[in-house]
Amino acid sequence: MPVIVRPVKDSLLDAIAREFKPLRFAQEMLARASGKTPRAARNWLDGRCAPDADALIELMASCNSIADEVNALVEERRRAREGKKCPGSN
């Protein structure tokens, strides 16, 4: 049975929204956790764009639920590849 792969951007933005939207100062707290501007954080919370790699690493270091979501996406893609390796892994 094939593994269904979720879109990365949607999954990541859903995880960010679940973690930060309930907070009173969500935009500011997300900006602080990611090392980015409040405007960038607002764009993520509104689903307009996803964090860049630097911000994502900072968020993963700051927030276990976001790190768990990213790790789950990686595992999902590994299962979808069923043993295929990156050419550089040989």
As a CATH number, domain 8-80 is: 1.10.260
Does this model's pTM top 0.75? yes
> What pLDDT is stored for residue 1 in this prediction?
46
**Is the model's pLDDT at 90 over the cut of 90?**
no
Residue listed under structure tokens 């964090």:
51
pLDDT tens per residue across span 48-76: 999 999 999 999 999 999 999 999 999 98
> What pLDDT is stored for residue 81 in this prediction?
82
pLDDT tens per residue across span 4-48: 666 889 999 999 999 999 999 999 999 999 999 999 999 999 999
Indicate the domain borders of the chain: 8-80
**DSSP line for 24-74:** TTHHHHHHHHHTS-HHHHHHHHTTS----HHHHHHHHHH-HHHHHHHHHHH
